[in-house]
Amino acid sequence: MAKVKYVDELREGEQVDDYFMIKSARLGETKAGKPYLALNLADKSGEINGPVWENAESLQKICRAGNVVRVRGLVQRYRENLQLKIDTINLGEEGEYDLSSFIATSLRPAHQMEEELQQLIDSVNDVFIRTLLLEVFSDIQSGADFKKSPAAKGIHHAYLGGLLEHSLSIARVAAMLADHYRGIDRDLVVAGALLHDIGKTKELASQSGVIDYTDIGRLKGHLYIGAELVGQAAASIEDFPEQTLTHLQHLILSHHGKYEFGSPVLPMTAEALLLSFIDDLDAKMNLVEQLGRKVESETYQWSDYQRSLERYLYLRPASPASTQQKDRDHSQPQDYETRLHDTKQRSLF
């Protein structure tokens, strides 16, 4: 039996008999003291919660993160969100399902993103910064991890290739705004954009499609790990300027923008301020894009309540044609002055 319907296609009132990957499982107790299982089920399109009220303790043995299970149940709405009321759950047998149905990956082709990464590195004029970028991304382990890693465990770009997609998006915007605002060092801010989350290559790992923190990730965090990796790369480059290294590490350590968001220092340079704003913007817009793909009608529709944004969103469906056009545009970056000229040619003034 192949995967019938993906999570983002499920609707309230539907009966379900399908395969899902268990993302997390927690054994709890009701107010009456009866055990239950709180499951988070997923496929490559999204996630849905599914409580198991009967035989929770015995089913806990098969309900482990990364396992694929066959679930029968009913889609219900609970506190503004859809959930699956599970009637039966069984461990999926190898050969019954295709693992690719459960592992979310970037919609952008990997080879296209790799080419864009090389183009952005080549666009950096400062020989020390360019050499450092080549050193980091040509390293067999960190380079490979960077290209396949997720950008987060949840919320935004939480899929294989998401880290590269997110970093490229930020770097493109950073390059554009560095041309727009006076006093911005383009090489520094583009390098900072490409390197800002490099620590996530060691902070997060995807095991059987389940994204989780590594031991070093929990103990150090990706900001410290990233600054450390950049420091190690700079140490291998003869006469690498200390001030340049300090600035790059500051970009990494401060890019969350605020102490309460996890940065040990606040952004204290123009480049660091710019990077922190772009990073936050890109994360939020990716979340909006993911939600837009779940809109079933052809008109605007309200989303479920988004706790990370503390609001509902009024969304229209994401257009596949629009996404494909943006991907083509990204694969053929133009000189900023050329784009500006083309825009003026189309302008009314």
In a domain, 337, yes or no: no
Same domain, 197 and 92: no
pLDDT at position 58: 86
pLDDT band (50, 70, 90) for residue 142:
low
Quickly tell me which residue has 């006469």 as its tokens. 239
Mean pLDDT taken over the chain: 84
Percent of the chain with pLDDT over 90: 48
pLDDT at position 150: 67
pLDDT at position 345: 42
- Is residue 5 classed as helix, strand or coil in its secondary structure? coil
pLDDT at position 210: 67
Residue 61 is given by DSSP the state T
Same domain, 176 and 272: yes
Same domain, 76 and 221: no
Same domain, 74 and 144: no
| 89 DSSP β-pair partners | 71
In the chain, where do the E strands start and end? 15-29, 35-43, 46-52, 68-78, 81-91, 204-207, 210-213, 301-302, 314-315
Return the minimum-mean-pLDDT range out of 51-55, 128-132, 167-171, 279-283: 51-55
pLDDT at position 297: 62
Mean pLDDT of the region 71-81: 89
- Is residue 306 classed as helix, strand or coil in its secondary structure? strand
186 vs 126: CA distance, rounded Å: 10
The boundaries of the domain holding residue 137 are: 110-294
Same domain, 134 and 17: no
Query: pLDDT per residue over 85-110, tens digit each?
Result: 999 999 988 788 887 788 778 888 88
Between 280 and 320, the higher pLDDT residue? 280
Between 183 and 139, the higher pLDDT residue? 183
pLDDT at position 307: 84
Mean pLDDT of the region 243-255: 98
Same domain, 90 and 126: no
pLDDT band (50, 70, 90) for residue 141:
low
In a domain, 205, yes or no: yes
Collect all residues with Cβ–Cβ distance below 8 Å to 130 and sequence separation of at least 6.
Answer: 121, 122, 124, 187
pLDDT at position 348: 39
When divided into structural domains, the chain yields a total of: 2
Q: Against a cut of 0.75, is the pTM above it? A: no
Percent of the chain with pLDDT over 70: 83
Same domain, 184 and 115: yes
Nearest to 49 by CA among 27, 15, 23: 23
pLDDT at position 1: 62
pLDDT at position 3: 82
Query: pLDDT per residue over 290-304, tens digit each?
Result: 787 766 666 788 888
In a domain, 324, yes or no: no
